[in-house]
Each structure stands twice: as structure tokens, then as C-alpha cells.
Amino acid sequence: MKIGIVTWNAPGRQRLFMEQAHPDMETSVVAHAASDEEKIAACHDAEAIIVIGPSLSTDVLKECPNVKLLQGTGAGYDRVDIKGINSLGIPYAGNGGSNGISVGEYTLGLITGLARGIFRGAENAKSGNWNVGLRETPSWELTGKCVGIIGMGAIGQRVAKILRGYECDTVYYKRNRVDPEVERDLHARYLPLNELLQAADVVTMHNSLNQSTHHLIGKPQLALMKPTALLINTSRGTCIDEDALYEALTTGGIAGAALDVLEEEPATMSNPLWQLDNVIITPHQSGVSEEVVTRSAAFAFANVRRAVLGEPIQSLVTPE
């Protein structure tokens, strides 16, 4: 079976990815930065295409008549023209939660790093200021706190599993509640969004980005949060109204934020959030690990194989 692969992976990661290809697959690899003509040449005869990084344009897909599946490797699909792809008779599939462990662990790093001032302390020590402000700056333990999870897919559930070891009061909000058995296993209870925001000491966002979640957290929602609350975002930057967040962070509305995603990426230094001591910003790296490459590759190759063989496709994404 012929599989096209459009990638922006570095060579080392690409080797890891390709190790998961099945023996009966003939792969044709093209860089995402290549021209549409080069992508068409590489994928014209493909029976499925795996896209590592940004999505593939419908102009290219129109010239690939045999494609039975466009397979993504990222968790988000807000930049994917699902309707346009589907209009060509091609389904689109997500990554099957293959980055759940990576983002979940990273999230706990952001929570504890922000709550305990780890990043600030490391910067002070490196700059020669050693323990300046150590006694004056609040530092909170996570154990026993109420943590609110927005979104309870693969990543949200991984965060909840990790939190069981912290003896937290874990609450979550999701448009469609998970099964009661899953709630019991995760030690998590459902709350409507506004109630979650009022109760939580930490709010961590793991929802997808769509019309209903754009600026899901804005001025009214931030006003509901405790002044000691922390806000974590590893989903998509535009799920938070950054102007409202800046106001809340500078007026004592909430205590701090840790953001792996921003409304504008790559972030420019003109973003005022950079100037705040109670904010941690990282460059959209929570889903990046060696293990994620292997897991996402294994899922992607297995899924395109299912599509070519006419078997049920997993992790299909449908337009809203």
C-alpha cells in the first residue's frame, strides 16, 4: 500500500517516526515546506496521507485521487479544513490521544512549577540573586487542593490520573459528561463550568478549540476565580482572552498563569504577558517527547492501514 507523508520533523524524529511503518507500506516523504507541485508529485498515487504538522491544502488533495484517509498526528484540528477535506470524500482522523501522557505530565510540571515558584527560583539563582523574594512570595502545595480540569479527553483524563497521587479534589467540566465508571476511576466529579471556576485552586485547560470554546475563559469567567487561583493552558491560546487575563493577573484577580500556548504564535516580545512575574510562558512544547513520536507514528500507520483495507477508522474528526 502506498502512503504519502508530509512532514516538518527533524531528521532524528523522522527516523523514529518511520520505524513504525508496516512492512507492506511503500512510503513517499515530502517536506511540509515543499511546493504544492512537489507534494502532489509525492502523494499523487498515495492511498492515504499522514500529515506531521500543519494540514495539507485541499488543492493538493484534489490531485490525489486514491486517498482514503488524511491522518493527522496532532491533538488539535482547529487549523484543518475538515469540511473542505470531507467534501472531497476524504475522512480526517486525529492522533488517537497519543500525546496524552506527554501533555499530562507537562501540565503537572507547569502546575507545580508555578505554585512553588520553581521557575522563578531557578532564574534568580542563575542571575546571582539566589533566594531573593523567597520568603515574601507565596508558595502553595498541590496536595489537598481543588483542581478543575476543563475538557476530559485523553489529556484531561491523564491529568486526573496523575492527580490521584496528590490527593486532590478533582473536578471537571466537559460538554458531555464522561461515564460514571470513568469518573469513579479518575476520582473526579463533574461541575458546570462556572461552579468549577469558583471552586478550583487550579484550573487547567484541555479542551479542543472550536466556536464554542473561543475565549472560553474571558473577563466574566476570570472574575469567578479565587484571587489565589492558578490558570494553566496547554490546549489552544485563543481559548483564553489574553487582554482579560492580563487584567486579572495585574489587579489581583488571580494569582498566576502558566501558558504553553498563546493567541499569537510564535509569540512576539510585545505581548505584555512576558513582563509579568506571575506568568510562565513556554513555546507550545507540551506534546513534544521522543515517546510521543513513536506512539503517534504507530497509531497513524495502523489507522491508515485500516483505511486502505476498508476496516473501521479510529479517531475520526467530524465538522461541527
Active-site residues: which are they? 236, 265, 284
Task: Outline where DSSP puts E strands in the chain.
Answer: 2-7, 26-31, 48-52, 70-72, 92-93, 146-150, 169-173, 188-190, 202-205, 230-233, 256-259, 279-281, 316-317
User: How many other CB atoms are there within 10 angstroms of residue 46's CB atom?
Assistant: 25
- Cell numbers for 123: 532564574
Q: In the block, which residue shows the cell 491560546? A: 237
Backbone angles phi, psi at 5, to 5 degrees: -130, 120
| Max CA pair span of the chain | 65
Tell me the C-alpha distance between 42 and 159, whole Å. 39
**Pick from 250, 258, 207, 206: which is nearest to 230 by CA?**
258
